[in-house]
Amino acid sequence: MTAEVAEPVPAQTQEELFEAVIAAEQRIEPRDWMPDAYRATLIRQIAQHAHSEIIGMQPEGNWLTRAPSLRRKAILLAKAQDEAGHGLYLYAAAETLGVDRAELTEKLISGRQKYSSIFNYPTLTYADVGVIGWLVDGAAICNQVPLCRCSYGPYARAMVRICKEESFHQRQGYELLMTLMRGTEAQRRMVQDAVDRWWWPSLMMFGPSDGDSPNTARSMAWRIKRHTNDELRRRFVDMTVPQAEHLGVTLPDPELRWNEERGGWDFGEPDWSELTRVIHGQGPCNTQRIERRRAAHEDGAWVREAATAYAGKRRAEAGTRTADEAQNTPEQENGK
Ligand SMILES: [Fe+2]
Ligand SMILES: [Fe+2]
């Protein structure tokens, strides 16, 4: 939406214009007028998403130095670097809404902003790396593909590239699990154990059930969100059950049954009290994740200071050059 008008638009008209852009499936851009609550919702959501990408590097980063082969190490390194990139695109998208990245990082490490609860679980074996790729990145894809059509332009555009990389993450996870399943009995048991531990937390990645998700309706009306939490969760289960069968693992849900009428899988209810506990800081690794993030931020202070000093030096040099050029111009012209 670009309001090319000579005079300021009255508030009501601006709101109507905003609504019209949303209804026409066009994008809201950073300089456009938007309701304060729309801006605040996006800042919260994009920041939480960016924090999740960055904190999400930790569980798998745990295995970088112990990867079973050079090939696996190269794949895992590439994936962790992708996640860092996702975090950076998303912080940049949040900044277009008028917040500062330093402020968002501060809110994360002081516990005032959240990240996805899934990253508070530990990675006990290398099979966890595969299961995270398959289930956690798989759930992220279900959540994020509809965000490519989000009404806020910078967020929607960032999601296009992120989703392409997430699908690589999911495939590498599945390929790793397939390799383990073709291995020894102990390796197959290791995969099953990882699936048992990650299945329910993966289902919780879609957030509470629709009845307990008060902000969903408004986010859907603004076309930030396109589907409810329960719709996305069902979509994920329908996508994953045949993959589990092909892999030869059992999903740890005795209520999992094909529903002929609906043409989808019925499944059990996650333990919502566990999600509440983990969100409120009592997951297995909450403290460790934030402490590590804080330490990394503090250790990196010299890099930020050096970059700022260098940028200042470049600006000063550019300023001197401009002044010199201004002085030299008449002489040069005379010389021609
Ligand atoms: Fe990512
Ligand atoms: Fe990923």
Q: What is the pLDDT of residues 49-108, one digit of tens each?
A: 999 999 999 999 999 999 999 999 999 999 999 999 999 999 999 999 999 999 999 999
Q: What's the gap in Å between 131 CA and the centre of ligand 2?
A: 12
Overall average pLDDT of the 262-282 stretch: 95
Q: According to the model, what pLDDT value does residue 261 have?
A: 96
What ligand has the least distance to the C-alpha of 138? Answer: 2
What is the overall mean pLDDT for the chain?
A: 93
Q: What's the gap in Å between 292 CA and the centre of ligand 1?
A: 19
The neighbourhood of ligand 1, an ion, using CB within 5 A, equals: 53, 83, 86
Q: According to the model, what pLDDT value does residue 42 have?
A: 97
Each residue of 213-247: pLDDT tens digit? 888 889 999 999 999 999 999 999 999 999 999 99
Q: What's the gap in Å between 137 CA and the centre of ligand 2?
A: 5
Each residue of 252-261: pLDDT tens digit? 999 999 999 9
Q: What's the gap in Å between 135 CA and the centre of ligand 1?
A: 13
What ligand has the least distance to the C-alpha of 169? Answer: 2
Asked if residue 325 has pLDDT above 80, the reply is no
Confidence at 4, pLDDT banded by 50, 70, 90: low
Contact 55, 109 (CB under 8 A): no
Overall average pLDDT of the 299-309 stretch: 96
CA atoms 188, 194, 195, 197: torsion sign = positive
Asked if residue 166 has pLDDT above 60, the reply is yes
Q: What's the gap in Å between 255 CA and the centre of ligand 1?
A: 31
Q: According to the model, what pLDDT value does residue 7 have?
A: 65
Confidence at 319, pLDDT banded by 50, 70, 90: confident
